[in-house]
Amino acid sequence: MSTAVPPLGLAVPTGSLREPVGELLASCGLSMEGYEPGSRLLRAEASDRGFRFRIFRERDIPIQVALGNYDLGICSDVWIAELQARFPGQRVVRVGALPGPATEVWLGAAPSAGLEAGQVPDPASLEGVRLATDLPNLTDLLASRLRLPRYALLDLYGSVEAYPPEDADLAVVAAADAAAVEALGLVPLHRLFRGGVALVANADALRARDCSPIVGPLTPAFVPSEAALTLPDRASDTPLERVHRDTGVLRLALPDGHAQRHTFTALADAGLAFEGYGEREFVRRPLSPIEGLEVKVVRPQDMPSLVAMGAFDIAVSGVDRLREHLAFFPASPVEMALDLRRSRYRIGPVVHNDFPAQTTQEALAIWSRLGRPVRIASEFPGLAEEWARQLRLPHTAIIPIAGASEAFVPEDADILVEGTETGTSLRVNNLRMLDPFLDSTNCVIAATNPLTSRRDLLDLLLDRLREGVRVAAAGEAGVVAQGARGGA
């Protein structure tokens, strides 16, 4: 009996590359319905042309290709380098360079560090140096080249440029060029990497399968571009000047991104306003009208770790992010100080619409009979593991992912542990949530033993935020009551 050969799998990027890659594929006769900018669709079939495609965050694409889940992928060279810096034996081959934006990776420092452009600091001054980055593998490689005897690596979700000089001594950041690094407020010290956009393939698939339905049309578009890793071969004699935590101030972290709008409203209800932090716009270091209170804007995903480390005394993050942190570090010195009751959404197991179960308990019987590890993909790997353990789900494989999570089920994962506010993205991608296990809101988190000496300010801030929650709740109750009277 012959077995049908599965179609070629092509992984393509979402985010900033979605539009240019989509235009490139269309110009090569490989247009794919659903890959238009703004579309929430993350999977589609092109079986009439011998391939299927899925849409991922760029950093997940080399991993998916290396695992053999996809035969080919398109992504920035920097994510290939980030994978191979730690796993050089992975079966990923760069087939060719494609037209697209160049990306460089730079070692940078704040202007207060006492360094000039192109000047790598004296390694003797880097004992215990704090390195901020969202490229941890390349940063570890740099630390090995500089032979740093001891260093702290802040593995961040983003906003890397915000950390020097108060919360990191150096930053490893992706940018278009040195001028772009300077535009971020950093001094460009050394370029670690330069690359563009590439077509990559799983080495085994390239050898054993006919990849020509995809590689053939793209080959005429290849450009003469190579990815280059350039670790520093020498350093200067100039020492790095550092900024240390001032315990005489209270340090507050506020979120950027999706949580910003809700946080701004919560602050307004509490009678708090910080110059430079609006409903949508912000500066990294808003001005505080309260003497002794210092504010910085960072990603909410990083806040529990930063508070636990003592970088901040208090922060506005999410219940989901705090629970994710505590799932990995249950004794971490950070706790929820106040639920702001905003930005509410549910987290739970997500399956394909064709999955033959309506509840988690019904699904458990199916998952338990698979005869292999149950694959769980999630941006919340700690919560996913905790949920699987509490459910007593046997033989699981947790797959940490960077985003575009709806693309993974059902081909590359059996379950997606995901958060949803409206369910729109799930419905577009033919998915549904079973029984949610966490209702998440934004919240105030605080260190269990804050480093600040200004405990009076901490108490004042929490009291005003509590009053803001009370005012907001009273306003909502009034609206409901008025609606009930109007209906009567």
pLDDT, tens digit only, all 488 positions of the chain: 445 678 899 999 998 999 999 999 999 998 887 787 777 777 666 556 678 888 999 999 999 999 999 999 999 999 999 999 999 988 899 999 999 999 999 999 999 999 999 999 999 999 999 999 999 999 999 999 999 888 999 999 999 999 999 999 999 999 999 999 999 999 999 999 999 999 999 999 999 999 999 999 999 999 998 999 999 988 999 999 999 999 999 999 999 988 899 999 999 999 999 999 999 899 999 999 999 999 999 999 999 999 999 999 999 999 999 999 999 999 999 999 999 998 888 999 999 999 999 999 999 999 999 989 999 999 999 999 999 999 998 889 999 998 888 889 988 999 999 998 888 889 988 999 999 999 999 999 999 999 999 999 999 999 999 999 998 887 765 544 455 555 55
Rounded to an integer, what is the distance from CA 220 to the centroid of its chain? Answer: 34
Structural domains of the chain, with CATH: 8-101+195-227 (3.40.190.10), 104-194 (3.40.190.10), 250-344+441-480 (3.40.190.10), 345-440 (3.40.190.10)
Amino acid at 469: V
CA 220 – CA 449 distance, rounded (Å): 61
Look at residues 419, 416, 420, 400 and name the one whose alpha carbon lies nearest to residue 408.
Answer: 416
Pairing relation of β-strands 187-202 and 228-229? Answer: antiparallel
Is the N-terminal amide bond of 232 cis, ω within 30° of 0? no
